[in-house]
Amino acid sequence: MDGRSRCLVCRGHLACHCILVEPPDGGLILIDTGLGLRDVHDPKSRLSAYFLALLKPEFRQEMTARRQVERLGFRAEDVRHIVLTHLDFDHAGGLDDFPNAVVHLIRREKDAAEAQATWMDRQRFRPQQWSSRPRWRVYDPMEGEAWYGFARARPLDGLPPEIALIPLIGHTLGHAGVAVQRSGKWLLQAGDAYFYHEEMRLQDPHCTPGLRFYQWMLEKERAARFDNQRRLRELVAGHADEVDVCCGHDLHEFERLAGRIAAVPASALRASR
């Protein structure tokens, strides 16, 4: 599953990779939320029995986005905006934990998640996590200027142009990446457009069998998913000096970018900057 466990029956480990942005004019921006406090406290009422049995998440309150934001010396109310890659339960579970945040996402993602059209949709998209729905802002995917050859939604309401919502359809119908420009270089959080860092190799891309199966099981548009993976590989190969790319679950990428092991929550990072 994760490419690093010692044996086939050993427990695998993945991340829920969230990014906290502190703009110079105040107010925090969170990219994805991972699982939330309510998911930790009462998972059976919030998450599907299917995914609880399949994934067996490790529920640790200190690893939720809210608790890690607080460990950095902020309050939950300081998070003014959340930009979502998509509405799967493991990316949107913490929406409830940030009561002042406006939530930004692709319109088609909202519509498909609310429709609950298939059995799998009802397992992955959990309305129990959506108390923030009155604060959602939705965007059409093709209204902005191009970003490195990718489409881009129009500028997000209340956010600087250094935050870009990049449609990456395939895993879900309204899936997107979120790009953040920092010190002249972009960081693209590609969500679940891919799952394993070796999928971004231009030559002989590789994914572990478990994650390959998981992506197949959840994909909504297979051709679009593969096409976006190809385009992301070309982006990585051609613009490495301008763009870093990571996905939502790969431990190798998380630890490279965060500079710490994934099993340890954020603590004194703010003071060390």
Specify the residue for token string 């913490």: 94
- Token digits for 205? 């891309």
Quickly count: other Cβ atoms within 10 Å of residue 1's Cβ: 20
DSSP string, 159-201: S-TTEEEEE-TTSSTT-EEEEEEETTEEEEE-TTS-SSGGGG-
Average pLDDT on 94-110 reads: 98
Query: Which residues partner with 137 through β-bridges?
Result: 104
Is 210 contained in some domain?
yes
Start-end of H helices in the chain: 37-41, 43-46, 49-55, 65-71, 89-92, 107-115, 119-124, 209-218, 222-238, 251-258, 269-272
Does residue 2 sit within a domain?
no
Residue 9 lies in a domain: no
- pLDDT score recorded for residue 78: 97
Query: Are the C-beta atoms of residues 14 and 194 closer than 8 Å to each other?
Result: no
Compute φ and ψ for 246, nearest 5 degrees.
-140, 160
Domain that holds residue 213: 19-272
Please tell me the total count of domains within the chain: 1
Whether 6 is in a domain gets the answer no
Q: Convert the pLDDT of each residue in 216-258 to its tens digit.
A: 999 999 999 999 999 999 999 999 999 999 999 999 999 999 9
**263 domain-assigned:** yes
- Do the domain assignments include residue 240? yes
Q: Tell me the backbone φ, ψ of residue 217, rounded to 5 degrees.
A: -60, -35
In a domain, 190, yes or no: yes
For residues 135 and 263, the model is more confident at 135
**How confident is the prediction for the chain on average, in pLDDT?**
94
CATH code (residue 219): 3.60.15.10
- Rounded distance between C-alpha atoms, residue 103 and residue 30, angstroms: 9
Residue type, 233: R
Which pLDDT belongs to residue 272? 44
Residue 134 maps to a domain: yes
* pLDDT beyond 60 at 99: yes
